[in-house]
Structure 1
């Protein structure tokens, strides 16, 4: 069987051209982030199924309803309405393996950091179901065992997931274990009984294990469009994101200024098309009846991007993560955030950690085992410690204080006090020396993290 893996809008247009000529395949596989593959799937479906029969001749099978038997039944059941039937299946388990769990955890964390709660909840619920774990069980795991048990990717910060489970765990839907199936029955149907004039299988997948035998065989049964291939390419990725943004605007009956596109990519980045789609939806709503999305519209959203990036930087410093800290700093400076604004944010966070560290150290009952213990036992003592000298602890959300106390516990208080001199030196260097700001801030971050316990 000849591999038919392609990627990019140009290749998709060729697939549409073949369909228009009557060359229909029994299966089409679209790989990539949902905001990218969904409109492609809809466009392809509209060519395969006439509009008047769409309600009866289009079937969708989501992960929560999937079973191999149910999919085969939908493919082989003759529709009441004459014409071709399309059966779309989302993230079928026969294209996943244990090797994809780490990739899906990364997608979950990316969604959490982008505040895409609905998508994050969907991914996390499914992963916990596959691992036969509840949010409560994960939170109760010893810290040094969590990565191994969750099969969590090395180099990816675990804290966003733990925070998400703390605050959202009770809201996560309970998923039944996904039915298995090797996909061999689907391959058998494609090889022996499929008829593209009667029914077509359309697969939409965010993640696949390309090493699986079923995936390699699938590539010989019909076109496989890998929209992630260009996104991962360092040269083609920005061009793909740029063209995708322009296409999304056109689908809404709008144009977007070139300067607006470039600013959007600068603020959001080109790596996550899901994040770009979310911001495009907001920009479309912001433009209202106007037919052009302007640079000024993007600038209205830029403050939020900056605040999120600053939050990620201080979080990385508090977590003593040098790699993530340097990456966050580079993102901020590349976005032309003033170095003094970055320094002020670091300084404020550092002083707040010092206060929380001192207040936590004054508690007579020792460190808290979890957030509930912190809120019920430590927080009243910390408020009492602050007294009338300030209101930082009183005005900070209890869970934010819990996170700060966890971060502060990784630093010696003596080191934190000593770093006040480093913060002052950095301020002086940024205002009066010829040292490049990036070097000043990178050196400062290294000094802050260097004293972790």
Structure 2
């Protein structure tokens, strides 16, 4: 759906109103940037582009701007941010919005204005009249977290736009190293595509060679090395993190978080929950659940309980200052090997 809308925008087939909502900031930002760059040239942006934060500006002000003819050129672009009145949440701001006037505008929008409403919320209140009317009249982009197969297709299409093809295993390795942050995924795909411009293909070796690991993914790899009883490699990763000035207390927190996820995934899987159900219950990405499921089978319940107790004790010692922080994690890693 998002790609279809982007295709129409690139063809300069603009809708008068766009509603972008959801928690995937990358999709919202990319759509806004694409609309702005396609609808206006650089000179027009100075005069025909406006941004309003509806947490501190009444929508009436934005509507007056929308109904005013462009200073020059054939259209203007207006971004409206944070329309909390579309949600069930009570607004903290004491801003009065004339929603009746907004409803009237939705029924008859200015033909020379592209209005982009950016709502970074997981859900909108579908019971509200204004929400129903907006979703009925606007071009809607639901910016939700992509599922694993959607992420894989996203990577394929991103590389394909540069004339590059990914080998299937290379995409899985990319996601395992980078995680599910789409800003990071896009940056790494573009870097790989640039490097592979001559051979037109990206394989696992190239991904291993070039892709930057996030701290979270380094922790995941560190745990994998512990599971495989490769303590020397686990320690090497840990020392590299220290050289990158990563705080031991943050590393410990991520270790504890990953083992907590493994424990929860293992328990929910035993109760018969599927990967998507577990992801929804734990409010995490399905791809993280898939990786945790792979690790869960390598620990018994007793081992996981013991590890979590050990990590909690290490956290206490670290926060009470009873021992050298970096040395404390080394001891934890040695004990994890047993």
TM-score, normalising length: structure 1? 0.47
Structure 2 residue 110 is the aligned partner of structure 1 residue 195: yes
Structure 2 residue 279 is the aligned partner of structure 1 residue 312: no
Partner Cα separation in structure 2 for residue 211 and residue 48 of structure 1:
33
- Structure 1: give runs of 5+ residues left out of the alignment: 1-6, 102-128, 131-176, 232-236, 360-374, 384-392, 401-422, 428-453
CA distance 1:396–1:325, change in 2 (3 Å): farther
Aligned to 1:117: none
1:361-372 aligned at under 5 Å gives the runs none
Contact 2:261 2:292 in 1 (8 A): no
- Of structures 1 and 2, the one scoring higher in RCO (CA 8 A, sep 6+) is 1
- What SS class does the counterpart of residue 323 from structure 2 fall into? helix
CA distance 1:183–1:349, change in 2 (3 Å): same
Q: How many residues align?
A: 273
| 2:19 counterpart (29, 41, 48) | 29
Aligned to 2:323: 394
Structure 2 residue 58 is the aligned partner of structure 1 residue 71: no
Partner Cα separation in structure 1 for residue 55 and residue 38 of structure 2:
27
Partner Cα separation in structure 1 for residue 297 and residue 187 of structure 2:
29
- What whole-Å deviation, never above 9, does each CA across 1:108-141 have from its counterpart, x for those lacking one? xxxxxxxxxxxxxxxxxxxxx83xxxxxxxxxxx
Partner Cα separation in structure 2 for residue 29 and residue 395 of structure 1:
52
Aligned to 2:184: 278
Contact 2:86 2:128 in 1 (8 A): yes
| 2:72 counterpart (66, 69, 81) | 81
- What SS class does the counterpart of residue 218 from structure 1 fall into? helix
Partner Cα separation in structure 1 for residue 166 and residue 130 of structure 2:
42
Aligned to 1:295: 207
| 1:95 counterpart (86, 92, 108) | 86
- What whole-Å deviation, never above 9, does each CA across 1:356-390 have from its counterpart, x for those lacking one? 88x9xxxxxxxxxxxxxxx8xxx4xxx6xxxxxxx
- What whole-Å deviation, never above 9, does each CA across 1:193-218 have from its counterpart, x for those lacking one? x321x222111222222332111111
Aligned to 2:174: 264
- What whole-Å deviation, never above 9, does each CA across 1:15-55 have from its counterpart, x for those lacking one? 655x44xxx43212122322012212322333332444123
Partner Cα separation in structure 2 for residue 250 and residue 55 of structure 1:
34
- What SS class does the counterpart of residue 103 from structure 2 fall into? helix
**Cα RMSD between the aligned structures?**
4.7
Contact 1:49 1:83 in 2 (8 A): no
TM-score, normalising length: structure 2? 0.60
Structure 2 residue 21 is the aligned partner of structure 1 residue 62: no
Partner Cα separation in structure 2 for residue 178 and residue 256 of structure 1:
51
